[in-house]
Structure 1
Amino acid sequence: MAVVNAATLFAGGIRPLPPENQPTGMFKRECEMPLWLGAEGLAGDAQADRRVHGGTEQALHQYPTAHYARLAAAFPDAAARLVPGSLGENLGVPGWDETTVCIGDVFRLGHARIQVSRPRSPCWKIDRRFGVEGMTRLIDEEGLVGWYFRVLEEGEVAPGCAFELLERPTPHATLARLWRSWKAHRPAPGELERLAAAPGLAARWVQKLNERAAWLRENAA
């Protein structure tokens, strides 16, 4: 747990998303100055649809920087625009992805302390953002989803600040395992229940996993 990486930060306001011009907070800019990270995210950052974005359980979004090469290879027409920050994330740190991050992981980010709360569910706006069809589906099917944090301790964060793993309460509950189990056609109910019990998992995901496990048990035939 001694690995320390340097973080890149992204934030932005609400802008129209062509061609229908729906409002979106996906357009982020790399931050050049220190920012305050509060309970609901970075100062100056905004989310358009607060029903599914933002809030204390989704205060900060991290997307693996290595995924951009995979997406660029699959969608060469959009490759020049597939750069860190373009999927609407707030945080980019090399060396971390869904296979190396677990639900409940606690990290130090600058002077703040944050905890992994849930995976990000990709939405249709990704295809609109890059003018392609199928990017959202590929992200969903291959689990290239990224994740959200809640803020345990507010504090100032700055470009290049330290990103360090402090605690790992559930090393079995990687984001990759959670996503794979959730997307499986008929996952084992016990597997869903074990993942639902991971400390730090967002309440909505606990409910989803337990409800699906109960349905699978009742419809085992």
Structure 2
Amino acid sequence: MAKVLSVQVGRAQTYGDAGSKDFLEKEWRSASFKEVSETPLYVSFSGLSGDEVADKIHHGGVDKAIFVNSYENYAHWASFLGLKYLPFGALAENLTMTGLHESNVILGEIHQIGTALLQVSQPRKPCWKISRRWNHKAFTNEIFTSGLTGWYYKVLQEGIIGTGDEIRVIRQETPRISILEANEAFYEPEKYQRMLETILEIPSLASSYKESIVKRLSHESDLGYMKTE
């Protein structure tokens, strides 16, 4: 059974040294440090109550209202970072889930969680901030190349979500393309050109995501948001 293991929200704060030029030390602003909510939270069309976004150009908005990660990836990321374990919200996600994974979550499918209806809108594009969050320059690129990015939800029906809520798949889109398959295609556009073209035909997906695919296919994609140098 797929269910929510933990719910997290965070406030935007400033970290680091304003005078430093070193990537791992210089000043940065983020809401990546999420705190576990002990009580169920209201989810509106813009996201969970109490959650903030520091960079509203690249994060947040109705198509990226809720960010999710699979707990099945936690052991892998703990090992990569050289840690024994990771706390819930370690990937800056709002919802940590079990029973769902990038390999079985389908682009555009609709999930019921608590009293809310959510639609899988796009994979996460890991940016440099997750590397700063864990003080590891290679982390962002590793998330990108592995395809274990997590995914975003668009909120179709507002409601209440809490720890322990079961996740029910209400409807799946066709063609059935998983988050992992979509990430592999984005990583190797020449090899998976047809799949990327098929993704563009899925009507429910975020327009910004489709635009990034068009640029990827035309070799105009800017991956500067991942830069850690």
Where does residue 191 of structure 1 map in the other structure? 195
How many percent of aligned residue pairs carry the same amino acid? 30
The structure 1 residue matched to 2:123, chosen from 119, 122, 129, is 119
- 8 Å contact 1:62–1:90 — kept in the other structure? yes
Give SS of 2:213's match.
Answer: helix
The alpha carbon displacement at 1:83 in A equals 2.3
Q: Superposition pairs for residues 82-101 of structure 1, below 5 Å?
A: 82-101=86-105
2:38 pairs with 1:32: yes
Correspondences of 1:13-92 after superposition (within 5 Å): 13-18=11-16, 19-76=25-82, 79-80=83-84, 82-92=86-96
- Using the size of structure 1 for normalisation, the TM-score is 0.88
TM-score (norm 2): 0.85
Tell me the distance in 1 between the aligned counterparts of 2:189 and 2:63. 27
Residue 158 of structure 2: aligned partner: 154
Structure-2 change in CA distance of 1:212 and 1:12 (3 Å): closer
Decide whether the 8 Å contact of 1:68 with 1:84 is kept in 2.
no
The answer for unaligned runs of 5 or more in structure 1 is: 217-221
User: Cα RMSD between the aligned structures?
Assistant: 1.9
CA drift of 1:6 comes to 3.8
Worse overlay, 16-25 or 174-183: 16-25
Shift in Å, 1:9: 0.8
> 1:180 is matched with which residue: 155, 161, 184?
184
- What is the CA distance between 1:167 and its match in structure 2? 0.8
Aligned residues: 212
In the aligned structure 1, how far is the partner of 2:217 from the partner of 2:135? 37
1:211, 1:185 → 2: CA distance? 10
Does residue 1:166 correspond to 2:164, yes or no? no
Distance 2:170 2:5 in 1: 15
Q: 99-108 or 180-189: which moved more?
A: 180-189
